[in-house]
């Protein structure tokens, strides 16, 4: 994997770049649709590509449990298994272990956990996580990390930082396929000094890219934004910077402003399945009775297949009736909204006007908020 930093906006930290992999290029800033179990719910791979996605995310933890990395390897790897020819990033499963904490425990060796599927017991070590991801043949692998909740005792977070650094070294040592990129993860909770320590330790190991983890775990929005602003500049400039599990369109705008290159979040697809749609004017809840006779598209400025062919009234009917097509059409729109947003962001950076773009975007979303802060 190679990363080319094409341009940085002269008025902020926003960066325009290009990640080059053997399976294609990733234009940054980039948003990765989430295909946790080898599928972006409701869509064909061809549809995902047509929406403008360069890369998708799959999850090591889930694919390890079902159907198993050895089976996927035997069938030609994850790309062939799911019929996606482009780049794939696989998360290590650290966040899933955190979210299922009641079913496991963390030691220096790794993460012991009980499967949420069948109750079977497993141990994920840094070495095992790399082994699984190499079997999947993902283009970008993630190190195993320890994610902490909010709030958490400082001593617990210090221990998690130390353990994540130790695990990162073991991931590097166990790596066999140099053709797959490996990203290190920065933890540290919401303590600036611990984030700085973690950034220095992980950056010193020389990964292909770096991720900010441990945010969007229940903390106040402004605290998350402050942590991103403090941490992103600490990461190497000549490598991709990835903000894990974030998020809303506003969060993406702020992340780009502070120098983030990659994002992922289940929000656009999960929201689509629940009838929450994104538009240039804000969010739209399609089940609302006001759309029963509305002949207009979700968003008149959107070029997606759904907006070009279907009315709000029809989409509301499908959703209320529980038709599967509602989820597919809604997902097409939401993902295209996110991809168009990334296209607009890249264009603004290329033209040196991202700060202006950010201000205009946030003002439309929050008319009473002129500086883009304290948005909940």
SS3 65: helix
**How large is the angle between the packed helices 354-365 and 324-350, nearest 10 degrees?**
140
SS3 230: helix
**Catalytic residue at 264?**
yes
**Catalytic residue at 91?**
yes
- Whole-angstrom Cα distance, residue 344 to residue 231? 25
Helix (H) or strand (E) holding 120: none
CB 134 within 8 A of CB 177: yes
CB 263 within 8 A of CB 29: yes
Out of 145, 208, 261, 264, pick the active-site residue.
264
Torsion of CA 192, 198, 200, 201, to 10 degrees: 160
Out of 9, 54, 91, 208, pick the active-site residue.
91
Long-range CB contacts for residues 21-26, cutoff 8 Å, separation at least 24: 21/87, 21/139, 21/140, 21/181, 22/139, 22/179, 23/79, 23/85, 23/86, 23/87, 23/88, 23/139, 24/54, 24/55, 24/85, 24/86, 24/87, 25/54, 26/54, 26/55, 26/87, 26/262
Match 């794939």 to its residue by tokens. 88
Helix (H) or strand (E) holding 119: none
Match 């941490």 to its residue by tokens. 231
- Whole-angstrom Cα distance, residue 89 to residue 109? 25
DSSP 312-347: HHHHHHHHHHT-HHHHHHHHHHHHHHHHHHHHHHHH
CB 261 within 8 A of CB 15: yes
Match 């709000």 to its residue by tokens. 312
Q: Which residues are catalytic?
A: 91, 264
């Amino acid at each position: 994997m190679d990363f080319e930093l094409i341009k940085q906006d002269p008025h902020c930290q926003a960066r325009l770049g290009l990640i080059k992999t053997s399976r294609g290029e990733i234009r940054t800033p980039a948003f990765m649709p989430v295909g946790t179990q080898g599928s972006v719910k409701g869509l064909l791979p061809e549809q995902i590509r047509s929406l403008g996605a360069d890369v998708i995310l799959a999850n090591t933890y889930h694919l390890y449990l079902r159907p198993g990395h050895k089976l996927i390897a035997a069938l030609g790897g994850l790309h062939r298994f799911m019929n996606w020819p482009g780049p794939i990033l696989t998360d290590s499963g650290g966040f899933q272990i955190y979210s299922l904490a009641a079913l496991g425990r963390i030691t220096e060796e790794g993460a012991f956990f009980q499967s949420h599927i069948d109750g079977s017991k497993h141990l994920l070590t840094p070495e095992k996580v790399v082994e699984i991801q190499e079997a999947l043949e993902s283009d970008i692998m993630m190190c195993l990390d320890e994610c902490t909740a909010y709030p958490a005792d400082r001593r617990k977070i210090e221990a998690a930082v130390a353990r994540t650094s130790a695990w990162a070294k073991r991931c590097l040592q166990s790596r066999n396929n140099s053709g797959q990129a490996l990203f290190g993860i920065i933890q540290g909770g919401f303590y600036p000094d611990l984030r700085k320590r973690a950034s220095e330790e992980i950056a010193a190991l020389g990964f292909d890219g770096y991720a900010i983890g441990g945010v969007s775990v229940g903390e106040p929005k402004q605290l998350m934004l402050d942590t991103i602003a403090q941490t992103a500049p600490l990461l190497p400039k000549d490598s991709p910077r990835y903000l894990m599990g974030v998020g809303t369109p506003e969060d993406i705008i702020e992340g780009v402003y502070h120098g983030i290159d990659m994002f992922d979040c289940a929000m656009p697809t999960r929201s689509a399945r629940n009838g929450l749609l994104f538009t240039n004017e804000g969010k739209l809840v399609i089940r609302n009775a006001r759309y029963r006779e509305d002949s207009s598209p979700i968003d008149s400025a959107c070029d997606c297949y759904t907006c070009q062919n279907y009315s709000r009234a029809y989409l509301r009917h499908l959703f209320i009736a529980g038709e599967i097509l509602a989820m597919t059409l809604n997902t097409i729109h939401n993902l295209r909204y996110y991809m168009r947003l990334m296209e607009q962001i890249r264009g603004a950076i290329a033209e040196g006007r991202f700060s202006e773009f950010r201000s205009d975007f946030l003002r439309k979303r929050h008319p009473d908020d002129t500086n883009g802060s304290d948005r909940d």
